[in-house]
Amino acid sequence: MKFSYRIIGYIAVLLYIIGIFAVGINALMYADAIAKLWKEMPSLFYLSTATNLMGILAFIGLLLGVTTQTELIYVTNTEENGKNQKNIEQKDTIEESQHNKETINKIRQSLVDTNQNRLQIIEKCLRLACEELEASIGVLYQNQNKSLKMIASYALYQEKTTITSYDLGEGLVGQVAKNGKTIKLTQIPEDYLPVVSGLGKSLPSFVMILPIIQNENEVFGVIELAGFLDFSERDIKFLEDVALLLANELEKELVNH
């Protein structure tokens, strides 16, 4: 509705300006008569000139006012969009943190489940972590006398050449166990295990290898995840919390033996 009023205003001002030009043309055509009328009624000409000037000023003001209003509306919308985007990001962060807490609680509950054996419990914890991070592949290695042996996996397609154990310092898995530091890969080697589904297989885009560590001097194992989504700092922090819980579980087993 406001847009229609604005269009009508433009048309009225345009007709007004056209009328001014028409008067000017007629004034040139009947210059003698107008000169005579000017002498007899000078106030009429002063009033006509002032009215025309006011009309022109009103037209200029209309243009400036519409432009300024449009800019203000744009700025307001930009600020509002910024606030909305910030609110959405904060909401996403809160929801992700809440999901992380829920998954951590599920893993804690799984670790005290007496209806499953140790390997079943560890596999369930690995599955929960992979599902939380949307990882396509997950593997968990346990440190057994300085040899890292695969004891649990998630969606892993094992070929004849699949390596299931590493010595300490051997390969990236062994290196993570030796240094106790997380490694994240974005350039995946061609011989890396592919993600396999019913429709085909493809190399993952991102790999994260994280030590299961209780303190700086004792590494109980390594978690290796791969997928098509990048692992954020929040993802790494979540997996560190999971690794700490698993470290406690593996430490108990070491003490019992």
Report pLDDT digits (tens) over 219-232: 999 999 999 999 99
pTM of the model: 0.62
**Radius of gyration of the chain from its Cα atoms, rounded to whole angstroms:** 38
C-alpha 215/C-alpha 204 separation (Å) is 31
Residue 5 is predicted with a pLDDT of 58
Instruction: Give domain limits for the chain.
Output: 2-81, 117-256
What type of residue sits at position 185? L
Which of the four pLDDT bands, split at 50, 70 and 90, describes residue 75?
very low
Q: What is the pLDDT of residues 175-211, one digit of tens each?
A: 999 999 999 999 998 888 889 887 788 999 999 999 9
Residue 124 is predicted with a pLDDT of 95
Residue 159 is predicted with a pLDDT of 78
Residue 86 is predicted with a pLDDT of 55
Q: What is the pLDDT of residues 87-100, one digit of tens each?
A: 545 545 555 567 78
What type of residue sits at position 205? S
Residue 74 is predicted with a pLDDT of 42
Which of the four pLDDT bands, split at 50, 70 and 90, describes residue 161?
confident
Q: Give long-range contacts, CB 8 A cutoff, 24+ apart: 126-130.
A: 126/152, 126/153, 126/154, 126/223, 127/154, 128/103, 129/103, 129/223, 129/225, 129/238, 129/239, 129/242, 130/154, 130/155, 130/225
3-state secondary structure of 144: coil
Reply yes or no on whether the pLDDT at 116 is more than 50.
yes
Reply yes or no on whether the pLDDT at 162 is more than 60.
yes
Q: What is the pLDDT of residues 119-132, one digit of tens each?
A: 899 999 999 999 99
Give the burial class of 214: count Cβ atoms within 10 A of its Cβ; 0-12 exposed, 13-18 middle, 19 or more buried: middle
Q: What is the pLDDT of residues 242-251, one digit of tens each?
A: 999 999 888 7
Report the CATH number of the 117-256 domain.
3.30.450.40
Q: What is the pLDDT of residues 15-69, one digit of tens each?
A: 777 767 666 676 667 666 666 666 666 665 666 666 667 766 666 666 655 444 4
- Mean pLDDT (whole number) for 139-152: 93
Reply yes or no on whether the pLDDT at 13 is more than 70.
no
Looking at the chain, the whole-number percentage of residues with pLDDT higher than 90 is 41
Residue 174 is predicted with a pLDDT of 95
Which of the four pLDDT bands, split at 50, 70 and 90, describes residue 115?
confident
Residue 62 is predicted with a pLDDT of 61
